[in-house]
C-alpha cells in the first residue's frame, strides 16, 4: 500500500515542483485537479482525492491552492499552483508543496 509519506519526506528537504502548461488562457479547476492527481499517481502510485480552490487565472504569479488526500491513509498534502509564464492563450505553471 502506497501513501503520501514518501512525498512528505521530499517536502521536508525542499518543494517538489512540477512545471506544466495549458492552452486556454487560464487553467480550469477541474484540469488542475486532474493534473495534480495524475502527477501524484505517477510519482507514488496513489490515486488521491484532489480539490482545488478555483481556476488558475492566466496571469504571471497568480496562485491557487489544492489539497490532495490519500484515500487509504487519510494523509493530506497541500499544494500551491503558481503561473510562471503566459504567452497568448498558453499558460505555464508550477505545482509545489505548500509551506
**Is the full-model pTM beyond 0.85?**
no
Per-residue pLDDT of the chain in tens (99 residues, 90 and over written 9):
455 555 554 443 333 444 455 556 788 999 899 988 888 888 778 888 999 999 999 899 999 999 999 888 888 889 899 998 888 888 888 888 887
Query: What does the alpha-carbon distance between residue 97 and residue 26 come to, in Å, rounded to a whole number?
Result: 21
Grid cell digits, residue 33: 485537479
Q: Which domain holds residue 11?
A: 5-97
How many other C-beta atoms can be found within 10 angstroms of the C-beta atom of residue 98?
15
- Number of independent structural domains in the chain: 1
**For residue 79, with 0-12 CB atoms within 10 Å meaning exposed, 13-18 middle and 19 or more buried, which class applies?**
buried
Grid cell digits, residue 42: 505517477
Grid cell digits, residue 54: 478555483
Amino acid at each position: 500500500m502506497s501513501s503520501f509519506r514518501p512525498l512528505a519526506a521530499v517536502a521536508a528537504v525542499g518543494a517538489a515542483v512540477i512545471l506544466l502548461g495549458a492552452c486556454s488562457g487560464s487553467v480550469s479547476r477541474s484540469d488542475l485537479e486532474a493534473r495534480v492527481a495524475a502527477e501524484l499517481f505517477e510519482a507514488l502510485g496513489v490515486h488521491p482525492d484532489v480539490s482545488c480552490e478555483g481556476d488558475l487565472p492566466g496571469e504571471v504569479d497568480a496562485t491557487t491552492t489544492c489539497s490532495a488526500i490519500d484515500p487509504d491513509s487519510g494523509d493530506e498534502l497541500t499544494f500551491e499552483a503558481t503561473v510562471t509564464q503566459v504567452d497568448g492563450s498558453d499558460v505555464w505553471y508550477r505545482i509545489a508543496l505548500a509551506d
